[in-house]
Amino acid sequence: MSFLPISREDMKKRGWDELDVIFVSGDAYIDHPSFGIPLLARWLEFHGFRVGIIPQPDWHSKDAFMTLGAPRLFFAVSAGAMDSMVAHYTPARKLRHDDAYTPGNRHGARPNRATIVYSSRLREAFRHVPIVIGGIEASLRRFAHYDFWEDKVRRSIIFDAKADLLIYGMGETPMLELATRLRNGEAFTSLTDIRGTAFISNAIPGDGPVSEIPAFSGVNAEPAKFNEAFRLISLEQNPFCGKKLCQKHDNRYLICNPPALPLSEEVMDLVYALPFMKAPHPSYKETIPAYEQIRASITTHRGCFGGCAFCAITHHQGKAIQSRSEASILQEITKLSSLRWFKGSISDIGGPTANMYGLRCGNPSAEASCRRESCLYPVPCRNLYMSDKRAAALLAKIRKLEGIKHTVVSSGIRYDLLAFQKSYFTELLRYHVGGLLKVAPEHVSKKVTDLMRKPGSGAFEKFLASFREESSCAGKKQYVIPYFISGHPGSTMSDMVDLALFLKRNGLKVEQVQDFTPSPGTLSTCIYHTGIDPFTGNAVYVAKSDKEKRLQKSLLLSHVAEERKNVIQALQACNRESASGELFGGRDDLAFRQKNMKRKKIET
């Protein structure tokens, strides 16, 4: 085994003077299935294509993009594992100073709007070579979309990148079909029927049903049109029944084919059995944080049917859970345990939501026409197969493997599912929690959790009670690490006070709070932009000022001394000073009263 070529010298070692496909990535080259570009590159290599990678090229000139020459078929461009704007800026639009996908954790190895910049440089260097864009940045920006960093609606990224084709979703199927058909002699311009792709056309296609959504000019000018477009797009995301979509941009059209079909278990096994080196390219001399985090982890499945309004996973990986076989997973762990650096501890066994492994729709005919975006909200779908036998058995077998000392599930857990997964819950808490279990209730206000498409505080309280009882029965001291979002559409300052009080009453503390980031393509971002829920038509309160967002975040950190001043301001802003006694207690409350003697008396 060897790494894929990243230089002419690497090509010569393989006896290659030309490549079929060259991937350009905003991430460092880590040959591991957790990273999209290496996975797709290995997938094409497995099917007989000559593939190379240009990782994190210097975009200031075209020279770095000419390292491997011109590919015979096309360039495949991705900003990396994250949208480049999300990677570069905080929710307060301040520049980040780190990048987990870069050696040394250094910021600045990729440009803003990397997909567009890379494509521009490639066009400058190789004018007539086709460019295919993909990855999460292109995937979630494939339609006209709201861009938080410019605070405006931008057109589809394929127009700004001047690309020939856009692949959305995970990409194995459309990428392989594209490369194969080109190798077989078909013209690039004729490949307009590949699932999971989008392209530019001068007219609306006449081959099959097409749903036309409001044009860019409309969604750019009218919030109601933006909401209508979002609603229509959402209706066509089922790969089994979704129609082709088109959206006019000036005098041309974006044409988006239906999503690619989910991968079968056999194909999932094949993908994860590819000859990955499971390491960063040896040319890197510094550690890469993203690799350190996942190098001892195992991916069991992909997809998520939770349908959370703020999350991009469903939009990118799909709602259908695509699970690997037990044999495939155990084989990968056996190989992992043979690596010199492996010490016997698996850092994670899971996927986007760990306890969705092996779950599926139990009614194929219903699945073929389903329009629900969430199988769990507002109540679990009656067709959802929720048996935990497969997942519980897998965890039990993994911990008994020779050479495995510890196994931890550190992926997020959907705690409302655990009510239907007693065996998995018991196995998890007794053997696979390293003292701390991550869950994401996100909020406790019903109106906010409804907008988020998450269960409310009642479900979380029931989970906490079950978690503590089960941990006690196991004779273990274990704790929940809850994740919450501040500043989400619908959340007022008073709602955040209620959340802070909930934490206090339940003996919970959070060390990190996610301030809501309106990332492209999600329902929450749509509401943030328009102030209206596109499915109900109801107006929604949205916190947009930097000050309010900062104060909302501080309320969740009321136990941190450095945040006390901000918490006081937040309580005053919503006339909830009376909550200070419970939040601070004792001396802290006395200090609060002394600072505010001129204000009304605070009852403690």
Report which DSSP code applies to 5. P
Assess contact for 166 and 157: CB atoms under 8 A.
Answer: yes
Are 580 and 602 contacting, i.e. CB atoms less than 8 angstroms apart? yes
CA distance 224 to 218: 9
For 295, the 3-state DSSP assignment is coil
308 annotated as a binding-site residue: yes
3-class DSSP assignment, residue 154:
strand
Tell me the torsion sign for CA atoms 61, 63, 64, 70: positive
Per-state percent for the chain, helix, strand, coil, to nearest 5: 40, 15, 45
In terms of Cβ atoms closer than 10 Å to its own Cβ (0-12, 13-18, 19+), residue 382 is exposed
Q: What is the C-alpha to C-alpha distance for residues 553 and 495, in angstroms, rounded to an integer?
A: 12
Please answer whether residues 58 and 311 qualify as being in contact, where contact means their C-beta atoms are separated by less than 8 angstroms: no
**Under a CB-based contact definition with an 8 Å cutoff, are residues 479 and 510 in contact?**
no
CB 112 within 8 A of CB 88: yes
246 is in an annotated binding site: no
Distance, in Å, from the CA atom of 579 to the CA atom of 264, rounded to the nearest integer, reads 53
DSSP 25: E
Beta pairing, strands 479-486 & 514-515:
parallel
Q: Which residues have CB under 8 Å from 199's CB, separation 6+? A: 158, 164, 165, 166, 192, 254, 255
CA nearest 165: which of 238, 256, 258? 256
Contact between residue 23 and residue 15 where contact means Cβ atoms under 8 Å apart: no
Instruction: Specify the DSSP element, H or E, that contains 46.
Output: helix 36-46
Q: Is 370 annotated as belonging to a binding site?
A: no
Instruction: Tell me the binding residues.
Output: 304, 308, 311
Instruction: Tell me the binding residues for [4Fe-4S] cluster.
Output: 304, 308, 311
